[in-house]
A and B are shown apart, each in its own frame.
Chain A
């Protein structure tokens, strides 16, 4: 399998088989919180893709050239959280200055991502992940791509959820099930559906 095939496997794994929300159960807060409207879900999804890709790149370098070299892997969580928080802050400032329109449309979602466990999750999982041969650890490019595809997977699920919930609003639901209860049930059914991808051999 060439490198393109490797990328395909990585993409399918990140988006469907090991989806961050529905298979790993990370980033559930924005999944339920920002999935009421399609356009805000799309904004959140794009912001997550952006931050996950950048965070994957930076945390890979920090992990390889600081933590592993000085045998400090037990500080991984602290170091990564520090990195992600600073990164999001930095990105926010740059966007606010250079692309006010994008800044306004992303709005509160950017700072929210600072504490999104899916971003920390992708950074940590990158350090322990292997290619499809099961031997080669992810290199820099692999990590960045994995971060990007994980973000795409998050966005796909978020958009699907938002579409479902917009329809739910118009349907007749018993009063006690309206809002969050029915959303959680839908989330469960979606997770079951995505569980089906586990049997997918690529």
Chain B
């Protein structure tokens, strides 16, 4: 018994000192760190973490910041707008707004559109055969690019490689197709395209100039492989009921703030350089005779003067003139106009 006690005591004295010293060391460091954490405390707004957990985390840079963390910090500390996250869309904007306790501004969803109808295997004219590094960027730097048109698509899919959301695919002709459902308008492809062919367009606008050539008409016709170049003739600009199209450097440009989606420009373009996704699907306006109060508002907003009628009397739509732009529908105070 006594032996066991002695044994225990000697063991205790052997391990006691090391335990004491290492324990004391740990305790001292712990105390120092505890004091330091109070002394050198940097206040981090918990909202930054919260916003970061809401953001998609793709670090795509569409907001203009280096990544999601930078954007979250700028929202809290720099008063940045909450609706700049394109991939997150309105949902994320609303969640951030809730964290910040403010209103989320309206968010106009945009999608990427390629302003060129060439670039495939069968619809591109080549100047020379390019055999170098297979990226648009390097092809473009060799004697101005291998395709005849100095403005057109090089067809080496830099945009596809840049897309983090799998929104760009290739068809059998090697043409790039953008899936509007998957596109988040992060702008990665816009930056990747060395010829600046890609642009972000509001999802609600479905008429696009499918050309970026600033060549003069004849030259553009001669080099374009798709036979749909913009020749800068200005017919679309004249036809546009709301003056949304301007011609600059032999190239038409649609101002989507003004564009009403009517598609008239596409019908007059002699080279079919304007793509109208809604062609054939537009409906004509019709006024419900029972609800119409004859306020004349619809007649005033109609860009083509297709609506006529005396004040306080029933208005009618001239269906041969109506272009189906739907401008009158939301303006009617009695909701008497329907598209049929």
What residues make up the interface of A, taking CB atoms closer than 8 Å to B?
62, 66, 70, 72, 75, 78-79, 82-83, 86, 89-90, 93-94, 96-98, 100
Q: What B residues does A93 contact at CB under 8 A?
A: 33, 36-37, 40
Is B32 an interface residue when CB atoms closer than 8 A count as contact?
yes
Query: Is the pair A72, B17 in contact by a Cβ cutoff of 8 Å?
Result: yes
Q: What A residues does B21 contact at CB under 8 A?
A: 66, 70, 72, 75
Query: Is the pair B36, A90 in contact by a Cβ cutoff of 8 Å?
Result: yes
Query: Is the pair A82, B25 in contact by a Cβ cutoff of 8 Å?
Result: yes
CB-contact partner of B40 in A70, A82, A94, under 8 A: A94
Known contacts: A72-B18, A96-B40. The answer to whether A66 contacts B33 by CB under 8 A is no
**Cα distance A122–B276 in the bound complex, in angstroms:** 70
Q: Indicate with 1 or 0, residue by residue over B97-132, a CB within 8 angstroms of chain A CB atoms.
A: 000000000000000000000000000000000000
CB-contact partner of B33 in A72, A89, A97, A98, under 8 A: A89
**Cα distance A89–B25 in the bound complex, in angstroms:** 15
In this complex, the member of A62, A90, A94 whose beta carbon has the largest number of chain B beta carbons within 10 angstroms is A90
Shortest CB distance B244–A (Å): 45
Interface size class of B (residues with CB under 8 A): 10 to 19
**Cα distance A83–B42 in the bound complex, in angstroms:** 23
Q: What B residues does A89 contact at CB under 8 A?
A: 33, 36
14 contacts between A and B (CB under 8 A): A66-B21, A66-B25, A70-B21, A72-B17, A75-B22, A78-B22, A82-B25, A82-B29, A89-B36, A90-B33, A93-B33, A93-B40, A96-B42, A97-B39
Query: Is the pair A75, B42 in contact by a Cβ cutoff of 8 Å?
Result: no
CB-contact partner of A86 in B18, B22, B33, under 8 A: B33
> Which residues of chain B (1-55) have a CB below 8 Å from chain A?
17-18, 21-22, 25-26, 29-30, 32-33, 36-37, 39-42
Q: What B residues does A72 contact at CB under 8 A?
A: 17-18, 21
Name B41's closest neighbour in chain A (CB-CB): A97
Query: Is the pair A83, B40 in contact by a Cβ cutoff of 8 Å?
Result: no
**Cα distance A78–B25 in the bound complex, in angstroms:** 11
Q: What B residues does A62 contact at CB under 8 A?
A: 25
**Cα distance A90–B32 in the bound complex, in angstroms:** 8
What residues make up the interface of B, taking CB atoms closer than 8 Å to A?
17-18, 21-22, 25-26, 29-30, 32-33, 36-37, 39-42
**Cα distance A98–B36 in the bound complex, in angstroms:** 12
In the A-B complex, list the 10 residue pairs whose CB atoms are closest, starting with the nearest: A86-B29, A97-B40, A93-B40, A93-B36, A96-B42, A90-B36, A72-B18, A89-B33, A97-B42, A75-B18
Name A95's closest neighbour in chain B (CB-CB): B40
Query: Is the pair B22, A82 in contact by a Cβ cutoff of 8 Å?
Result: yes
Q: What A residues does B29 contact at CB under 8 A?
A: 82-83, 86
Shortest CB distance A129–B (Å): 23
Query: Is the pair A79, B25 in contact by a Cβ cutoff of 8 Å?
Result: yes
Query: Is the pair B22, A94 in contact by a Cβ cutoff of 8 Å?
Result: no
**Cα distance A98–B40 in the bound complex, in angstroms:** 8
Shortest CB distance A51–B (Å): 15
Name B28's closest neighbour in chain A (CB-CB): A86
**Cα distance A89–B29 in the bound complex, in angstroms:** 10
Shortest CB distance A125–B (Å): 21
Besides the contacts A66-B21, A66-B25, A98-B40, what 4 more A-B pairs have beta carbons closer than 8 Å? A78-B22, A79-B25, A83-B29, A86-B30
**Cα distance A62–B22 in the bound complex, in angstroms:** 11
**Cα distance A15–B33 in the bound complex, in angstroms:** 33
**Cα distance A70–B40 in the bound complex, in angstroms:** 34
**Cα distance A62–B41 in the bound complex, in angstroms:** 28
Q: What B residues does A75 contact at CB under 8 A?
A: 18, 21-22
**Cα distance A100–B29 in the bound complex, in angstroms:** 24
Q: What B residues does A90 contact at CB under 8 A?
A: 32-33, 36
Q: What A residues does B33 contact at CB under 8 A?
A: 86, 89-90, 93
Q: What B residues does A70 contact at CB under 8 A?
A: 17-18, 21
Shortest CB distance A197–B (Å): 38
Name A91's closest neighbour in chain B (CB-CB): B36
